[in-house]
Amino acid sequence: MNRRDFIKNAAITGAGLLILPSGSLRGATAPSNKLNIALIGVWGRGLAHYDSLSSENVVALCDVNEERFPDALKKFPNAKTYVDWRKLLDDHKKLKLDAVVCCTPDHTHAFIANWSLNRDLHCYMEKPLAISVEEARVVRANWMKKKGKLATQVGMQRHAMQNFNRVRELVRDGAIGDLTAAYAWGNRQVVPANAEYDQEKGVIYFKVDGKPRAGYLADYGDPPKGFHYDLWIGPSTVRPYNPGYFGLRAGMNCLSWNMFWDFGAGQIGDMGSHTMDLCWNAIDAGLPTTAEAKGDPFNPDITPIKCESHFDLPANDWRGPIRVSWYQGGVMPASPKKYINLKDIDHGAMFKGTKGYVICSFNDRIVVPFGDTADFTYYKRRKQEDVLPPLGHFQEQWLNACKNPSLKTACDFEYSANMIELMLLGLVAYRAGKKLQYDPVKGQVTNHPSANQYLSRQYRPGWVLNG
Ligand SMILES: NC(=O)c1ccc[n+]([C@@H]2O[C@H](COP(=O)([O-])OP(=O)(O)OC[C@H]3O[C@@H](n4cnc5c(N)ncnc54)[C@H](O)[C@@H]3O)[C@@H](O)[C@H]2O)c1
């Protein structure tokens, strides 16, 4: 039995204590039952994974900033360090690697997800899974080939909040009649360092000269020693180094780079991933057949702050076709009642049915029945024993699935790729400025072929998306 099969068998038998023929005692926490894991991006969001990873063997740490290693090595003293994730993944056999946890900036996510899957490594990827439609589709295609053999999860850990499934139950059990539309929104307005946002014009102004201009930050000279800026840029277009991309505190630093097209997808990849998840969990959606969007005037450097996008989604086995919408940066869906101010929910979702609305935040929900026939006789409330069970600890769900890949994870690379593909298609429609008809099988815009150029990104030579 090889090491991986041993871990799997231990997991299937309940990960309890096993007595091996040799007489040695093995248990869930015995060294041989642990996964060998690489953590890529060890600071910032990476820190949030230290506790759950401490039950496993962290055998490799990768970060483009060598200054981050001493602290990380205090926690994981046996790990080998790398500055280039490609070298680490090429060493996976030497390291006897089982799994990868990735907390790097968004423009590297799809790369690291593909490289991990292609090397038969389980993968936990921080959100968003991708920043272009093509990236989402390539990751999903790789994952579908490995489903059942590998475990994947995207870092949408709010999914474990029990309210997610209470909302799903209300929608599924007919509390608002037949579902016709779903909406999600987020009110964050994040601007780059040294800039201000003109709400009305939707234009970003730089304090330096008070005029709108290209948004990538000015050249600030050489990066500090030990910081491999070229590797930070990775597959994206080279932009001059500026500390403004790295000025915020641990876990929030993404807000200093994720609004730039080369490094992220703005609020879609940021809070949008969490908030659309609240909606996505309740609607059992695949991919859309149309997309339309409008927002701030197009800025070639910076993703829009204010934007709304709308999609048509086909029927499934329990509901008819629905319309799904995403709103960000201050634009909002209309409230069903004047006395309900949806803006009081910073990040929320709403579901419209033939008999009313469900409105929710991450933590709670309300039902708003409407019309003379909204008497709840149509609501088939489930029995206590059918209430969806708590998900438990989100990262541990993935760790358990790594040990026994027949276990499901809530935000695997199919669920998450579908969701982010829809959101990113909204950015394609925003750039095209037209209502798009989308062929979800081929992944192509069919009515405005020129919009297809926005489905993918250009990469620097030497960086291979599906390597
Ligand atoms: N799930 C959540 O709630 C949540 C919360 C915050 C951030 N995030 C996500 O985590 C990711 C990181 O965000 P952050 O704020 O920690 O960013 P960050 O800029 O602080 O980067 C995190 C770490 O990754 C390192 N890094 C950067 N590029 C790298 C590369 N190519 N290879 C290896 N290491 C690299 C950085 O040096 C840093 O130590 C983002 O994708 C963000 O969306 C998720």
pLDDT in tens, 18-32: 333 333 333 344 456
Sign, CA torsion 64/67/71/75: positive
- Contact 62 CB / ligand 1 (< 6 Å): yes
Ligand 1 atom closest to residue 44's alpha carbon, by position in its atom list: 16
The answer, yes or no, to whether any atom of ligand 1 lies below 6 A from the CB of 64, is: yes
| Alpha carbon of 196 to ligand 1 centroid (Å) | 24
Residue 277 Cβ inside 6 Å of ligand 1? The answer reads: no
pLDDT in the model for residue 207: 66
Distance 406 CA to ligand 1 centre (A): 29
Atom 13 in ligand 1: residue holding the nearest Cα: 254
pLDDT value for 149: 97
- The answer to whether 226 touches 312, Cβ cutoff 8 Å, is no
Specify the DSSP class assigned to residue 219.
P
**Residue 94 burial (10 A CB sphere; 0-12, 13-18, 19+):** exposed
Q: Which residues pair with 292 in a beta bridge?
A: 310
Output 333-340 pairs: Cβ under 8 A, ≥24 positions apart: 333/183, 333/185, 336/368, 336/370, 337/368, 340/368
**CA–centroid distance, residue 91 to ligand 1 (Å):** 22
Please give the number of the atom of ligand 1 that sits closest to the Cα of 65.
37
Q: Does residue 153 line the site of ligand 1, with CB under 6 A? A: no
Residue 265 has pLDDT above 60, yes or no: yes
Cα-to-centroid distance, 43 and ligand 1 (Å): 7
- CA pair distance 173, 186, nearest whole angstrom: 27
- Bridge partners (DSSP) of residue 181 are 323, 352
Ligand 1 pocket mutation pick from 39, 43, 45, 63 by most atoms within 8 angstroms of CB = 45
Mean pLDDT of 314-343: 97
Question: Among the atoms of ligand 1, which is closest to the Cα of residue 234?
Answer: 31
Q: What local confidence, expressed as pLDDT, does residue 27 receive?
A: 35
Q: Which atom of ligand 1 is nearest to the CA of 258?
A: 43
Q: Find the mean pLDDT for residues 345-351.
A: 98
User: Both tokens of residue 437?
Assistant: 């008809």
What is the structure's pLDDT at 218?
87
Is 79 a pocket residue for ligand 1 (Cβ < 6 Å)?
no
pLDDT above 80: residue 261: yes
Predicted local confidence at residue 210, as pLDDT: 64
Ligand 1 pocket residue status of 264, Cβ below 6 Å = no
Does any ligand 1 atom lie closer than 6 A to the CB of residue 40?
Answer: yes
Sign of the alpha-carbon torsion through 443, 436, 280, 275: positive
Q: Is the distance from CB of 285 to CB of 324 less than 8 angstroms?
A: yes
Which residue's CA is minimally distant from atom 1 of ligand 1? 155
Quick one: which of 171, 181, 173 has its CA closest to 365? 171
Ligand 1 in reach of 41 Cβ (< 6 A): yes
Q: What is the mean pLDDT of residues 380-390?
A: 97
For the CA of 253, the nearest atom of ligand 1: 15
Closest-CA residue to 176 (of 386, 340, 336): 336
- pLDDT above 50 for 404: yes
49 C-alpha to center of ligand 1: Å? 12
- The whole-number pLDDT of residue 20 equals 34
Quote the CA–CA distance of 362 and 276 in Å, as a whole number.
11
What pLDDT is attached to residue 15? 40
Distance 106 CA to ligand 1 centre (A): 8
CB 81 near ligand 1, within 6 Å: no
Average pLDDT over residues 413-442: 98
- pLDDT higher than 60, residue 225: yes
Residue 38 CB–ligand 1 contact under 6 Å: no
Q: Is the CB of 130 under 6 A from ligand 1?
A: no
Query: Which of 427, 466, 425 lies closest to 444 in space, CA to CA?
Result: 425
Taking the chain, what is the end-to-end CA distance rounded to the nearest angstrom? 29
- Distance CA(425)–CA(331), nearest Å, equals 18
How far apart are the C-alpha atoms of 227 and 206, rounded to whole Å?
27
Q: Does residue 112 register a pLDDT over 70?
A: yes
The answer to whether the CB of 465 is under 6 A from ligand 1 is no
Quick check: 412 and 153 in contact, CB under 8 A? yes
Confirm or reject: Cβ of 232 under 6 Å from ligand 1: yes
Measured from the Cα of 109, ligand 1's closest atom is 41
Residue carrying structure tokens 């037209």: 434
* The two structure tokens encoding residue 209: 């000269």
Of the options 1.20.120.420, 3.90.1150.10, 3.40.50.720, 3.40.50.1580, the CATH number for the domain spanning 3-158 = 3.40.50.720
Q: Domain residues of the chain, as ranges?
A: 3-158, 162-189+267-389+413-455
Give phi and psi for 216, each to the nearest 5: -55, 145
Instruction: Give whole-number Cα distances, 127 to 121, 133, 277, 410, in Å.
Output: 18, 15, 11, 14
Say yes or no: domain 162-189+267-389+413-455 is CATH 3.30.360: yes
Q: Does the Cβ of 255 fall within 6 Å of ligand 1? A: no
Using the Cα atoms of residue 96, residue 98, residue 103 and residue 108 in order, give the sign of their dihedral: positive
pLDDT of 414 higher than 90: yes
Measured from the Cβ of residue 439, the count of other Cβ atoms closer than 10 Å reads: 11
Average pLDDT, the chain: 93
In angstroms, rounded to a whole number, what is the distance separating the alpha carbons of residues 196 and 194?
7
Which atom of ligand 1 lies closest to the CA of 255? Answer: 15
Is the pLDDT confidence value at 291 over 70?
yes
> pTM of the predicted model, to two decimals?
0.94
Q: What share of the chain in percent tops pLDDT 70?
A: 91
Distance 252 CA to ligand 1 centre (A): 9
Atom 20 (ligand 1) nearest CA:
44
Q: How far is the CA of 12 from the centre of ligand 1 (A)?
A: 33
